[in-house]
Amino acid sequence: MARALYIHWPFCASKCPYCDFNSHVRAEIDIDAWRDGLLADLRHEARQASRVNGAAEALTSIFFGGGTPSLMPPALVGDLLAEAERLWGFAPGIEITLEANPTSFEAGRFASFAAAGINRLSIGVQSFDPQALAFLGRTHSVNTAERVLGEAQKLFGRVTFDLIYALPDQAPEAWAKELRHALAFGTEHLSLYQLTIEPNTRFATDVRREVFTPMDNDFAADLYAVTQELTEAAGLPAYEISNHARPGEESRHNLAYWRYQDYCGIGPGAHGRRGGIATRRVRKPENWITAIQRQAHGVDWTHTLSRAEAATEALLMGLRLAEGIDPAALAARFGLAEAELLDRRRVDLYRELGFIWQREERLGVTAAGMPVLDTVLGELVPVKLAAG
**Which pLDDT value is given to residue 296?**
96
pLDDT digits (tens, 9 = 90+) for 105-159: 999 999 999 999 999 999 999 999 999 999 999 999 999 999 999 999 999 989 9
Q: What is the pTM of this model?
A: 0.95
Q: How many residues comprise the chain?
A: 388
Q: What percentage of the chain carries pLDDT values higher than 70? A: 96
Mean pLDDT, the chain, integer: 94
Listed range (1-5, 174-178, 260-264) with the worst mean pLDDT: 1-5
Please check whether residue 318 lies inside any domain of the structure: no
Distance CA 168, CA 203 (A): 12
Q: What is the CATH number of the domain that holds 27?
A: 3.20.20.70
Does residue 63 contact residue 5 with C-beta atoms inside 8 Å? Answer: yes
For residues 181 and 37, state if they share a domain.
yes
User: pLDDT-derived band of residue 388, with 50, 70 and 90 as boundaries?
Assistant: low
Whether 190 shows a pLDDT value over 70: the answer reads yes
Please check whether residue 317 lies inside any domain of the structure: no
Across 38-51, b (16+ Cβ under 10 Å) vs e yields bbbbbbbbbebbee
Please check whether residue 295 lies inside any domain of the structure: no
For residues 352 and 238, state if they share a domain.
no
Residue 357: give the domain boundaries.
325-386
Please check whether residue 31 lies inside any domain of the structure: yes
User: pLDDT-derived band of residue 94, with 50, 70 and 90 as boundaries?
Assistant: very high
pLDDT digits (tens, 9 = 90+) for 291-337: 999 999 999 999 999 998 999 999 999 999 999 999 999 999 999 98
Please check whether residue 276 lies inside any domain of the structure: no
Task: Identify the CA nearest to 285 among candidates 60, 25, 70, 18.
Answer: 25
**Which pLDDT value is given to residue 287?**
98
**Which pLDDT value is given to residue 100?**
97
Q: How many domains does the chain fold into?
A: 2
For residues 80 and 197, state if they share a domain.
yes
For residues 228 and 127, state if they share a domain.
yes
Is the N-terminal amide bond of 318 cis, ω within 30° of 0?
no
Domain end marker among 202, 227, 257 = 257
Please check whether residue 311 lies inside any domain of the structure: no
For residues 73 and 175, state if they share a domain.
yes
Distance CA 258, CA 324 (A): 10
Q: Which residues contact 21 (CB under 8 A, 6 or more apart)?
A: 66, 67
User: pLDDT-derived band of residue 342, with 50, 70 and 90 as boundaries?
Assistant: confident
**Which pLDDT value is given to residue 341?**
87
**Which pLDDT value is given to residue 380?**
83
Please check whether residue 53 lies inside any domain of the structure: yes
Distance CA 22, CA 12 (A): 10
**Which pLDDT value is given to residue 57?**
81
pLDDT digits (tens, 9 = 90+) for 350-387: 999 999 999 989 999 999 999 888 888 888 876 556 55
Domain end marker among 226, 257, 288 = 257
For residues 160 and 60, state if they share a domain.
yes
**Which pLDDT value is given to residue 247?**
96
N-terminal to C-terminal alpha carbon distance within the chain: 24
Distance CA 22, CA 43 (A): 22
**Which pLDDT value is given to residue 53?**
62
pLDDT digits (tens, 9 = 90+) for 26-58: 999 999 999 999 999 999 999 988 776 656 689
